[in-house]
Chains A and B, each alone.
Chain A
Amino acid sequence: MKIEICTGLRCTSYGANNIIQRVQDLLQNIDEYHVGEKDELEVKLLPCTSHCKDNTDAKAPIVFINDEMFSGAKSEKILEVILNKLEGENK
């Protein structure tokens, strides 16, 4: 699963740091969740993707999970999506 977190200044200001920390925490403790392995997740930090400026519907912070965009992303939602997807893939 590909997780890409935008780290432009707006995203950094409005919550990307928390999402990065939560995703890193998940990677470190993934065994505790019994849903999959660390190497199933590919986490990438992106420079500004400009979505929040160019696209009126998009709001920082921006996260992509397997190319699906999450705008105004909250860590709780992102983690839920990741864990659900992992669970689905490994059923």
Chain B
Amino acid sequence: MKSTYVDVLNLRRMAFVEISNMAYEDLDLNTLYEETFKMLPGEEAKYRDNIFHERAVLLERFRMALGLDPHTASDAGPITEGVEAANVDTNIYSPPLVDVIKIACNSCEPHHVKITDNCRTCIAHPCQSVCPKNAISLDKEKGQMVIDHDKCIKCKKCLNECPYNAIIETGRPCSIACGMDAFETDELGRAEINHDKCVSCGACMSACPFGAIADKSQIYQLIKSIKHGNDVVGIVAPSFAGQFGPLVKEEQVKEAIKRLGFKDVVEVGLGADLTTMNEAKEFVEEVPEKIPYMATSCCFSWKQMIDLLFEDQEHLVSDTSTPMMYTAEQIKKKNPDAKVVFIGPCVSKKLEALQEGVRDDVDFVITYEELMGMMISRDIEPSEIEIEGLEEMEDASLTARNYAYEGGVAEAVVARAMELNPDLDIKVENASGLHDCIKLMRLAKAGQKDGMLLEGMACQHGCVGGPGTVVPFNTAKKAVKNFSAESPFKSPAENTNIPKEDMPK
């Protein structure tokens, strides 16, 4: 998330705290409407044009935090319609995962180049002279140059030429952030996601300065599962280091999660070690003899993007399972009754967890931001937990913990492949952010990446830049590296937490 979007983040996070509180306290969900008055009291709006609008948007956030679909202004039913369905202890997901809260959308104009009132209608008008489509003319009434948008091809030649910087390129932040070109416009000019194109990376959620895009949460049902006495086990993604305050140790985070009612907390890095070993083995055996190159398998949005846009390359994605999957399997192997909760920076893991072969092992997926809401609702303060006496976290190797940032996955796989065969010289290329991922795949498809290991991460900078994160990516990356250095295992093969029978042969 963008830490500069302070008010947007506050509004999002308020909803997570409130819904967590309602779950823990067994409060009647039919009182959601009244709750908005407590959270946004008074007659004056703080964030939007009026207080009614503000409360209405908050209600939509509540609905999505409960896992329900958002309403639109024309929905005739009460805002609490269907809330009973949320009051269960299992995931209630129905598609789509990521959606526009229509009444929060500002109907920003789609991408275009425009001449602002900085225009002085100068005699030189270089904007006009450089335009290759003869799209710029003087509007005498407006007293400035204007662009005919039917003609404009957005080449931006004029933009660089204006001596008054009067020409700008602008558009919708959601659509600019979207690598899949999934944004369309509804009949009222509001953003609409084409769900056939969306891979649920969540980039639009982070980008919208009106907080108008959100994903559905599972915290309410998770808390119910905890309260019903299930053995709930949290598995924390490698990027968790540093997410809960700069002075908080990872062991304190683990203890804080346990105080929420979790029976245990295990690093997803444990499964990442299995991913590394299996993927390295697969690469060594298959590239270049059987397949020309191999793409990494751990990012679900990256894989979905390849499915949608590069169908003929799909078989070149590694068959190895993801760290989430391997970790969950290990937990369920020890305790088949456990309810496994993936805690990460990721939105699309919520979809990966519903896939066949995964859904039996992963019961819930939540983000760091949502987990933080749960902690705040219970007044749990990780920085205040006594460190002494806490068990050290030793689930994962150094290279597994580095999965959290761009380049880390490929680095781990290559290091492991070199252990298998020191003579190898594996070339790697990585891309982060779907725009760059798509560029990389185009080159790969054209045969320009043969022999290589291609690492793709849908979020910019990797998982540390994910939509469910709390701290800026560079701060998170530093924390991850510090935590990696503390691992007792330099190589995944040294990880004593992995049973011998599960080690790749």
A17:B379 contact, CB within 8 angstroms: no
B375:A21 contact, CB within 8 angstroms: no
Query: Nearest CB to that of B369 among chain A residues?
Result: A13
A-B contacts, 29 listed (Cβ < 8 Å): A8-B381, A8-B384, A9-B244, A9-B245, A9-B372, A9-B375, A9-B383, A10-B376, A12-B244, A12-B245, A12-B372, A12-B470, A12-B471, A14-B10, A15-B6, A15-B10, A17-B3, A17-B471, A17-B472, A18-B6, A21-B4, A21-B472, A45-B246, A45-B247, A47-B247, A47-B384, A48-B381, A74-B6, A75-B6
- A53 contacts chain B at the CB level, 8 A cutoff: yes
- B170 contacts chain A at the CB level, 8 A cutoff: no
- A20 contacts chain B at the CB level, 8 A cutoff: yes
B381:A9 contact, CB within 8 angstroms: yes
Collect the chain B residues with CB atoms within 8 Å of residue A8's CB.
Answer: 245, 381, 383-384
A47:B10 contact, CB within 8 angstroms: no
A68 to B245, CA, bound (A): 22
**Interface residue SS majority, chain A:** helix
Collect the chain B residues with CB atoms within 8 Å of residue A12's CB.
Answer: 244-245, 372, 470-471
- B492 contacts chain A at the CB level, 8 A cutoff: no
B383:A13 contact, CB within 8 angstroms: no
- In addition to A9-B245, A9-B380, 10 A-B residue pairs with Cβ atoms within 8 Å of each other are A7-B246, A9-B383, A13-B376, A14-B9, A14-B13, A17-B470, A17-B475, A21-B3, A21-B4, A21-B472
- B462 contacts chain A at the CB level, 8 A cutoff: no
A10 to B470, CA, bound (A): 12
Nearest 7 A/B pairs, CB to CB? A47-B383, A17-B3, A18-B3, A7-B245, A15-B6, A48-B381, A12-B245
A20 to B472, CA, bound (A): 10
* Interface residue tally on A, bucketed by range: 10 to 19
Residue ranges of B at the interface with A (Cβ–Cβ < 8 Å):
3-4, 6, 9-10, 13, 244-247, 372-373, 375-376, 379-384, 470-472, 475
A20 to B478, CA, bound (A): 15
A8 to B385, CA, bound (A): 11
Collect the chain B residues with CB atoms within 8 Å of residue A10's CB.
Answer: 376
A13 to B9, CA, bound (A): 8
A15:B9 contact, CB within 8 angstroms: yes
Collect the chain A residues with CB atoms within 8 Å of residue B472's CB.
Answer: 17, 21
A residues 12-40 in Cβ contact with B at 8 Å: 12-15, 17-18, 20-21
CB distance from A76 to the nearest CB of B (A): 10
CB distance from A43 to the nearest CB of B (A): 12
Collect the chain A residues with CB atoms within 8 Å of residue B380's CB.
Answer: 9
Collect the chain A residues with CB atoms within 8 Å of residue B379's CB.
Answer: 53
A18 to B5, CA, bound (A): 8
Query: Nearest CB to that of B372 among chain A residues?
Result: A13
Query: Nearest CB to that of A22 among chain B residues?
Result: B4
CB distance from A8 to the nearest CB of B (A): 6
A47 to B373, CA, bound (A): 18
Query: Nearest CB to that of A15 among chain B residues?
Result: B6
Counting chain B CB atoms within 10 Å of each CB, the highest count among A12, A21, A47, A53 belongs to A12
A7:B383 contact, CB within 8 angstroms: yes
Collect the chain A residues with CB atoms within 8 Å of residue B471's CB.
Answer: 12, 17
A9:B376 contact, CB within 8 angstroms: yes
